[in-house]
Structures are given as C-alpha cells and as structure tokens.
A and B are shown apart, each in its own frame.
Chain A
C-alpha cells in the first residue's frame, strides 16, 4: 500500500500523521506514566490532538476563515462571476445526486490542479448567490480556480468549513472542565494518601 503511494498523496495526508503522532504521545503518557498529574497532562495532549484532527479536516485549500467581509460589493470579482455562472447550470443539475457518488480520494490532488472537474459545491453555492444577489461570496469554493487564477483568488472568498470549529470550541471548553475535575480529584487523593504515584496508591490500597 505504501509503495503505491506517490509523493502527492503522502503530502495530502501528512497532517493526519502529525496528529496521530501527537495522539500516540498523549496515549503513551496516559498508559505508561504512574504520576497522576502526568497522566492528566497526557490526556490534555490527546485532547488537543483530537481538536487538531477535526480542524485540519475542515480546511479547504486556498480558503479563509468563515467570516463574511463587511462590505459585500459587486465591483470586484467580475471576471470569475461569468466563468462560474457559465458552468453552473450543467453542474448544478446533478449536483445533489452526484455529490455522494464521487469517491473522495483517488488522485484528487492531481485532479484539482487540472481544472474545474470538481465544482459541484461551487455550482450550488452559485445558485444561492443568484437567488440572493446581495450575497455574492460563496462558501466552499473549488480551490482549483483560485490556484489557476490569482485574480480570481482575490475576487472570490473560499471559506473553510465552520462546523469542525464549532464542535471543537465546545470540546475544548468541556475538556477544561473535566481537567479541573481530574485535578481536584488528584488534590483529594494526595491529601488522603500522601502521594500521587499510581503504584504507591495501589500498594497502600492492597496493604490496607
């Protein structure tokens, strides 16, 4: 499997590997270290890497943060607009059905560079843009356009997915709540046993 992978595919997956490395470091600390505080630190590292995993999945190449600019004008972005609307109809017709049928991997990196082979979302985004003229910027644009044409990149905003951000905001805050609880328990254990080393605590439990 690894032998079949080319360098492009490997570059497209490096973010997952970094996250997995961090995750496994945290996992190792949880299972190998006897000190309770060290275990909690390990859990925190694990949690941060899970957050990073979700956030990297939401990134769209050439995208920007999902915050709408204040002045949404029609003045710029003229060049792409005609281009986008031109191809919108024939993609939008089967957009809803064919989104699910496309396999996500299979040489997607090369395909994206070649051209607008993947503008399903683009098309549906433009549809809402047409029906509501005041909102011209579309989310989740196809990154291929922006790579091919820098003028277009300045004109059309591509937004990364806001959903992972939202979910991970919740996860971080809940994570610190559980961390606080675990630390309080550690303080309590220290006062009861006089130590926070796991093996000593177990030994005291056994002898008691």
Chain B
C-alpha cells in the first residue's frame, strides 16, 4: 500500500507546486483537474469512496468546466507579477506553526484517536437496521441522521445558483442601458 501512497502524495505535491508556478492559466486549470483526481485516488485509499467520487465528479469535472468557461471570457494568460518574499515568509511561518500543531495529533490510522471514539461509534452497526437495510453508512448519515444539514447544503447551492444568475444577468441589462 505504501508503494501506491508515496507516488500519489509526491505527485499531489508536485502538481500543487506546478499549479502555483505556471503562468498559463489554461494549463493551470488542467493541472488542477489532475490534482483533484490524485486527491480522489488518495481518498479511495483512505476508505472514503463516496468523497472520492464526489471529488472526481465535482472537483475534477464541474470545477474544471466552470474555470474553462470563465477563461474563455476573461483571457488565458496571467500577467507576470514581481516576486515578493513576504508571502513566502508568511506561508512558511503558518506552515511551521501547523506542523508544530501536528505533534500532538494522533498517529495515522490510530483506532483510539478521539475522532474514532467520541461520537459513540455504535451508530455504524445501528444504521443498517435504522435505514431498513441500507448498507452504506455514509449515505445513511448524510441523508437521514444529518438530513437537515444536507437540506441546508442544497439551500446554499440554490442561493449560489441564483446569485450567479443575477450577477451575469445584471451585466446584460447594463449593456442595454449603455447602448
């Protein structure tokens, strides 16, 4: 397993750096799709197939599509900016603080980590009975135990969709007024 994980993680890091460095926005968007697929692969190894599917469909699919659509309207090349050391310092300090914070984190895959024990994990066994034989616990939690959360999520998406339509439509009205 480690032979698969190490190349995936190395490629993830390389792709992220490539996205950050590349000037051509079209190539950056393509690298972003690769990044999402690599992330989805790692999620599959981390036993989260549902998240992996969503990441592949949404992160690599819809996001790339939206970005390409935007690029068609705005132009494909990034203006070279002058290099500044300040952001690198800020990022370095923040990263160092976060790495320091990980020293208190439970080890990878530890079955006794607080995240595995605090909400009583018995719901994993109960869910199949509660949901009348639904085998996927993730679906059970998403659609039923946390159903209101999912409802709120759809409300957020709906709001965002309306906002996008309003932003892009106002433009048409503005053009008519200017003519």
Count CB-based A-B contacts (< 8 Å): 325
Is B12 within 8 A of A22, CB to CB? yes
Given A13-B107, A121-B116, residue A183 in contact with residue B19 (CB < 8 A): no
Interface positions of B from 1 to 46, Cβ below 8 Å from A = 9, 12-13, 16-17, 19-20, 25, 28-29, 32, 35-36, 39, 42-43, 46
In this complex, how many residues of chain A approach chain B with their Cβ under 8 Å: the count is 111
B46: contacting residue among A38, A58, A199, CB under 8 A? A58
Is A139 within 8 A of B81, CB to CB? no
Cβ of A93 within 8 Å of any chain B Cβ, yes or no, is no
Given A31-B91, A125-B122, residue A165 in contact with residue B138 (CB < 8 A): yes
Cβ of A77 within 8 Å of any chain B Cβ, yes or no, is no
Is A44 within 8 A of B63, CB to CB? yes
Given A12-B107, A57-B113, residue A187 in contact with residue B16 (CB < 8 A): no
- For residue B98, which residues in chain A have a CB less than 8 angstroms away from its CB? 20, 23-24
Is A174 within 8 A of B157, CB to CB? yes
Cβ of A25 within 8 Å of any chain B Cβ, yes or no, is yes
CB distance from A150 to the nearest CB of B (A): 15
B42 closest partner in A (C-beta): A52
A25: contacting residue among B20, B48, B124, B159, CB under 8 A? B20
Is B19 within 8 A of A180, CB to CB? no
Is A120 within 8 A of B137, CB to CB? no
Given A41-B19, A169-B51, A191-B171, residue A162 in contact with residue B138 (CB < 8 A): yes
Interface residues on B, range: 35 or more
B91: contacting residue among A1, A27, A175, A197, CB under 8 A? A27
A200 closest partner in B (C-beta): B79
Cβ of A196 within 8 Å of any chain B Cβ, yes or no, is yes
A61: contacting residue among B110, B129, B136, B157, CB under 8 A? B110
| Chain A, interface SS category | helix
B108: contacting residue among A61, A158, A162, CB under 8 A? A61
The docked-state distance in angstroms from the alpha carbon of A65 to that of B50 is: 9
Is B81 within 8 A of A33, CB to CB? yes
Q: What residues make up the interface of B, taking CB atoms closer than 8 Å to A?
A: 9, 12-13, 16-17, 19-20, 25, 28-29, 32, 35-36, 39, 42-43, 46-51, 54-55, 58-59, 62-63, 66-67, 69-71, 73-75, 78-79, 81, 84, 87-88, 90-92, 94-95, 98-100, 102-122, 124-126, 128-129, 135-138, 141-142, 146, 149-150, 153, 156-157, 159-161, 163-164, 167-168, 170-171
